[in-house]
Amino acid sequence: MFCVDDVKRSRKGEPKVPVNENSPVIKAFRVYQSELDARHDKHERLVKVSRDITIDSKRTIFLLQRVAGSDSECAVLEEASEKLKQIQNTKFSLIAKELQDEDPYRFIRAYSPGLQEYIEAVSFFNYIKCKELVSLDTIQQDLIFPENIDIGQTYDPKNQAEMVESQASSTAVNQSEQKGTIEVHVPPIEYMLGVADLTGELMRLAINSVGAGNLDIPFEVCTFLRKMQLGFQSFSYVSREVKKKLHTLNQSLQKVETACYTLQVRGSEIPKHMLVDVLSSPMREIHMYTDDQSMDE
Amino acid sequence: MANESSMTTIFSDFQKYLNEEQEIREEIRVLVRDVEQTTREIHTQLQLVHQHGGIKQVQEYCEKAETSFATLREQFRKLAEVVPAGQYYRFHDHWKFSMQRCCFLSAFITYLQTEKLVTREETAAKLGVQVSRENGFHMDLDDFLIGVLQVASELSRLAVNAVTASDYSRPMRIAKFVAEMDAGYRLLNLKNDALRKRFDGLKYDLKKVEEIVYDLTIRGLKPSEDPPKE
């Protein structure tokens, strides 16, 4: 009893120490206080939005994975594109607003998980749609918003057209100087990390599509992954993060290559509906030379 | 297929970007090394106050150290030129620690000269950098606050050495100063980050200084202008 009372008293006693509001030190610290609080609040808000983006992007990716089994590829793509646009307009516009007049690199840690997941979703969508790697430019274009945008308002459908058109154009990244727009700046390194995540999804797509009876997709994916691997390997200087992703990429590639091998050798011998089992189960045996790690990160 | 060419462009563009970034980082590293060198010199100069009899020559040491700040200003100006506008925080890690050290040195000098806590504006002016981000190369608030915290540990050491040098009034003033600093930092709502970690060390410095005051008081060594209460 006594002890508890004592502790309580000392805790209560602390704020009782009078703070001399007139002292210059205290005045200065009041300023620092409000500045720190404002920054922490902004950080928290960004983390929240980023988390929502991650969830929504994951859902979009799951939706896109269903392409393998579904009859109408168009319908799925339509829905996915709708979802992605929704993420841009409801979530990223919020981030853009928060980051207005800020150094984009200051808060990058707060929203980078969401951004990467989103890039993964967009690039996956783009792969299924036109079998190409989405460019940084395209992604950046989608994340530029007019100033004073109303949150939730459906955004200009012109954006969609731009997405396909500006594919090839690779102008400078810095469009932020345009007057009257706010943007979520996408640092190239974030883009690359997002794109690296794509490989895991492609691997899954390749395996799943065999189940759906499409035996061409694994070979397509395989060629695509090889190119990506070549690209990633060519970088002279990379962060540890990229190296880790490259490792996963190699694993995904190996899985797809093994799958292609199996298809080539035994594809005609095995009834189609059993191929998936053949691909997913004995793969580990064929696979002995790879590290035995789980498929995802 | 357009596929091949677009993919190659994407990767070669990124490689170009990486190379450019590397170059900037190289340049920054060289400049930061210079800053570190200067701060070491200033630090060494200021360390003299701890030496026997050094306390009486405080003003002299401070003046000497002040001259090195001109070099520092020039070095920060060069650094500011290399860092691309609006990308301060992309390369912040390179000079974070040097900046904290500079803030510490500036705060320490200000204390030795005026026995006051340095303000952010004074420090920024002394280093030749901006206070707010909008105006260019600036001083991060966190770095400033961390730097100032280091003064407390330096002062607790100075208090000990002042007693050794039979300067009994200085520890009293230091105790008051550190207590005020503590009150100031208590106003901040800190997150669990580097600043918080540094702040958690402040209480030990405060305790040390208070113990010195206690030691002096019970022995009647407290200077007469501040008579002991009955």
| Chain A residues whose beta carbon lies within 8 Å of the beta carbon of residue B138 | none
∠ Cα B89 B94 B96 (to 5°): 75
Which residues of chain A have a CB within 8 Å of the CB of B183? Answer: 17, 19-20, 25-26
Report chain B's mean pLDDT, rounded to a whole number. 88
Contact A33 B141 (CB under 8 A): no
Residue A203 reports pLDDT greater than 70: yes
pLDDT at A2: 44
Q: Would you call A232 exposed, middle or buried from its count of C-beta atoms within 10 A (0-12, 13-18, 19+)?
A: buried
Query: Which residue of chain B comes nearest to A37, CA vs CA?
Result: B189
pLDDT of residue A104: 83
% of chain A with per-residue pLDDT over 70: 71
pLDDT tens per residue, range A57-91: 999 999 988 877 667 788 888 889 999 999 998 88
Q: Please tell me if residue B132 touches chain A, with a CB cutoff of 8 Å.
A: no
Provide the shortest C-alpha distance from residue A27 to chain B (in Å): 9
At residue B53 the predicted structure's pLDDT band, cuts being 50, 70 and 90, is confident
Q: Between chains, do B7 and A192 touch, taking CB under 8 Å as contact?
A: no
More confident residue, B20 or B6: B20
User: Chain B within 8 Å of A25 (Cβ-Cβ)?
Assistant: yes
- At B28-46, the pLDDT tens digits run 999 999 999 999 999 999 9
Q: What is the pLDDT of residue B5?
A: 66
A38: contact with B, CB 8 A cutoff: no
Strands A181-183 and A144-146 come out as antiparallel
Q: Do B11 and A232 touch (CB under 8 A)?
A: yes
CB A221 within 8 A of CB A260: no
Please tell me if residue A104 touches chain B, with a CB cutoff of 8 Å: yes
CA-nearest residue to B90 within chain A is A105
Mean pLDDT confidence for B184-212: 91
**Residue in B closest to A196 by C-alpha:** B11
Residues A178-196 have a mean pLDDT of: 83
Arithmetic mean of pLDDT over chain A: 76
| Closest chain B residue to A26, measured at CA | B184
Lowest mean pLDDT among A13-22, A121-130, A257-266, B127-136: A13-22
CB contact under 8 A, B184 and A132: no
| B69-83 per-position pLDDT tens digit | 999 999 999 999 998
CB of A242 within 8 Å of a chain B CB? The answer is no
- Tell whether B197 is within 8 A of chain A (Cβ): no
Task: Identify which of B3, B11, B133 has the shortest CB distance to residue A231.
Answer: B11
Closest CA to A231 of B12, B137, B44: B12
How far the first Cα of chain A sits from its last, in Å, is 52
Residue A148 has what pLDDT? Answer: 65
- pTM attached to this predicted model: 0.79
**Long-range CB contact pairs, B151-154, < 8 A, 24+:** B151/B104, B151/B107, B151/B108, B151/B111, B151/B181, B152/B178, B152/B181, B152/B202, B152/B205, B152/B206, B153/B201, B153/B205, B154/B104, B154/B108
pLDDT at position A241:
84
Question: Do B107 and B123 contact (CB within 8 A), yes or no?
Answer: yes
- Grade residue B142 by pLDDT with cuts at 50, 70 and 90: very high
Q: Examine the pLDDT at A44 and tell me if it is beyond 50.
A: yes
B114 touches chain A (CB under 8 A): no
Judged by CB atoms closer than 8 Å, whether chains meet at A168 and B11 is answered as no
Chain A to chain B Cβ contacts (< 8 Å): 107
Please tell me which of the candidates A33, A228, A231 has its beta carbon nearest to residue B188: A33
DSSP state of B130: B
- Of the residues B16, B187, B189, B191, the best mutation for testing chain A's interface (the one with the most A CB atoms within 10 Å of its CB) is B187
Percentage of chain A beyond pLDDT 90 is 21
| pLDDT of res. A272 | 61
Task: Look at A203 and A73; give whichever has higher pLDDT.
Answer: A203
pLDDT, tens digit, 9 for 90 and up, residues A140-181: 888 888 876 544 444 444 443 343 333 333 333 344 444 578
Model ipTM?
0.85
Q: Which residue has the higher pLDDT, B64 or B133?
A: B64
Region B119-128 average pLDDT? 92
* Residue carrying structure tokens 């919020």: A94
Residue A181 bridge partners (DSSP): A146
Q: Is the minimum CB–CB distance between B70 and chain A shorter than 8 Å?
A: no
